[in-house]
Structure 1
């Protein structure tokens, strides 16, 4: 098998491996309620993926873009983990597994129209607080530029401050929902 045959084999293997990914990506928009046919959702996802790939390869510096996305994802992941940890502490890690999987309005965890709005509010507030304190090449929050760093010292101390603030907001917002 020559060089050309090896390249073709790699291309065919890549396409074959991505069939299940394309199928799954077509299911995701339908799962959230977009009323398109599967073929339309897979096509839309494919066009979006190709556009993002072309952007990453030819317009931006891929590693810088990836680094910026990962850096900013902390602004959402930190508060979401603080929210989850606070919920575990408030419930003392006592969840009803059957009720967690019950997606009907009668479920214990249905809340209001299937959404725990107090949890959403806590996540939004935590993310907003984190974005105010973020210090990245793409975004510098106004609190991060304050003298002596009002968000805490650079690095782990600032991240711990964000987590504590998010956890405190989560505690105040979701405590009534947990105690119902």
Structure 2
């Protein structure tokens, strides 16, 4: 049977929606078929198993939540200083709230990876590669802050994202900009030096 790549992509997108809405336990071929509005049995024709489907989601989810390169270029037109780093962190935070489904699905993948060694290995590989790309982007673009500062900002922003996605209101939305500014100031330091 010849498989349609557009239909496969639509099924993976539907799986991301199901994962975000119902969690990993709710991610079944039947649920994916329903979310994609395709005939029952379609997903099972495209994916050999649930593990195969999770692997496809792992590979696709970063493309779904990645920023548009034109947006990145627009943001990066500013001077390379602490203010730009704070703006980038705020931008990332806004993107999380604007693409809640994609980021919730990513959290569900992380949780499911704690129970599935193969998924854990693949997701860890993908996440490490993404982190390394982000670190290189920061350093190659001459942004202030050393690798330790970038790592600390990554960890703090991940925690903020977790709070906002799972328990909105614990950290009031109106406080996030100030917290992000404080995070950047404390990790990069007053003169742009990590400390």
Q: TM-score range by the shorter chain?
A: under 0.3
TM-score (norm 2): 0.24
Q: Which has the larger radius of gyration?
A: 1
TM-score (norm 1): 0.25
Which structure has the highest helix share of the two? 2
